[in-house]
Chains A and B, each alone.
Chain A
Amino acid sequence: MREGPDAGLVLLVLDRDPDATNLLIRRFSGRIFGLAYRMTGNAAEAEDLCQDILLRVLEGLPRFDRTRPLEPWVRKIAVRHVLNRLERGPHRREAPLDPASLLAEDPHPGPSELLEVSENARRVNQALARLPEKQRLAVALKYQEDLSSAEISKLIGVPQNTVKTWLLRARENLKKELAGAV
């Protein structure tokens, strides 16, 4: 049986190697946080969720099929956990991230850019919060994880055409919200 691309890392983590564990945390923290933040709109809650998801990943590693890549498996755990959390009831109030954290490509933004991004982020968060959970998840997976509608459909168990319709509808809503900027 041929081992997958992440088998080495997984074996080290299973041996409780602290460096390997930290490497795994660093590798997935940003993406898990991004997904959790887009789903909850609350940075502190997203961080708590991120912690819980990483623990689940580490606890589940002995059952992970090492012939496969780690990333889709981690994403599946993250999506399931975030949805479970949202189903459990009301979450904390919206608490946006520091605007500088939203500028993925510019590490040194100017004040006007920060203001613009902060305002846009507020509008986007409000528009996302109005979407039903699964639609919000589809948008997060599309723009955060760069997944296609086919991949999203497989991940959340909804027909591909439904996902496509959600994405197009959500895109139109978000475009309206950002009308000033887009």
Chain B
Amino acid sequence: MRCEEFRELAGELALGELDADRAREAQRHLASCGDCREIAGREEQAENELKRVLATRKPAGLDSRLMTAVNERRARVPVTRWERMTALAGTLVLFLAGLLGMKEWTPLFSASWDLPRFSLEFPATDAVLRALTTPWLGWLVAFLVAVQIAGVAGLLLSGQRREA
């Protein structure tokens, strides 16, 4: 092996990536060439420094933080299909019951209504009742209730629960 050839392969030799035959040739050349030995020494030093700088140690407390977090997350089990369906059905029933209840017991959805008699006796509630009996407000309340219930359902459908 000639010096030029060795210099081209010096990096590969330091990386430990030279195949066995070429590595033997390189070692034979090094035995007889002081200049290339110097280059090889520098490459080896650079390799050791890179290993030192690129090495990382675990940050303090990493293991205990990981153990706590992993065991906590592992304790959660996915919600089963049956549980999801039950949650969905329950949410639907609740929502329908809420709508029916509002229609039955409040004047929110009626086109014509009379203010309850007690509101005349308590004028302070008069403004509130008038606001509540506005049809668009009724729909807004119904919409917010639906959003709320959908949120709960979504949580149940996509989420996990803790293991019993």
Q: A interface vs B, CB < 8 Å?
A: 18, 21-22, 25-26, 29-30, 33-34, 37-38, 43, 47, 50-51, 54-55, 58, 97-98, 100-105, 117, 120-121, 124, 139-140, 142-144, 148-149, 164, 167-168, 171-172, 174-175, 178, 181-182
Q: B interface vs A, CB < 8 Å?
A: 11-12, 15-17, 45-47, 49-60, 62-63, 65-67, 69-71, 73-74
For A170, the closest partner residue in chain B by CB is: B50
Interface of B, secondary structure class, is: helix
Interface of A, secondary structure class, is: helix
Known: A144-B56, A178-B53. A164 touches B12 (CB 8 A): yes
Known: A54-B66, A171-B11. A104 touches B57 (CB 8 A): yes
Q: Which of B50, B56, B58 is most buried by chain A, counting CB atoms within 10 A of its CB?
A: B56
User: What's the Cα separation between A97 and B67 when bound, in Å?
Assistant: 20
Known: A172-B11, A182-B45. A30 touches B58 (CB 8 A): yes
User: What's the Cα separation between A101 and B50 when bound, in Å?
Assistant: 16
Known: A55-B73, A55-B74, A178-B49. A29 touches B54 (CB 8 A): no
For B73, the closest partner residue in chain A by CB is: A55
User: What's the Cα separation between A60 and B52 when bound, in Å?
Assistant: 33
User: What's the Cα separation between A117 and B74 when bound, in Å?
Assistant: 37
How far, in Å, is A41 (CB) from chain B's closest CB? 11
User: What's the Cα separation between A178 and B17 when bound, in Å?
Assistant: 22
For the complex with contacts A33-B62, A168-B11, 7 further pairs of A-B residues with Cβ separation under 8 Å are: A22-B67, A25-B63, A25-B67, A105-B55, A144-B54, A148-B17, A178-B49
Complex contacts, A182 vs chain B, CB 8 Å: 45-46, 49-50
User: What's the Cα separation between A138 and B125 when bound, in Å?
Assistant: 73
Contact of A164 among B17, B45, B63, B69 (CB under 8 A): B17
Can you list 6 A-B pairs with a CB-CB distance of less than 8 A? A25-B63, A33-B58, A168-B12, A175-B46, A175-B50, A178-B53
How far, in Å, is B106 (CB) from chain A's closest CB? 48
How far, in Å, is B46 (CB) from chain A's closest CB? 5
Known: A51-B69, A171-B15, A172-B11. A117 touches B53 (CB 8 A): yes
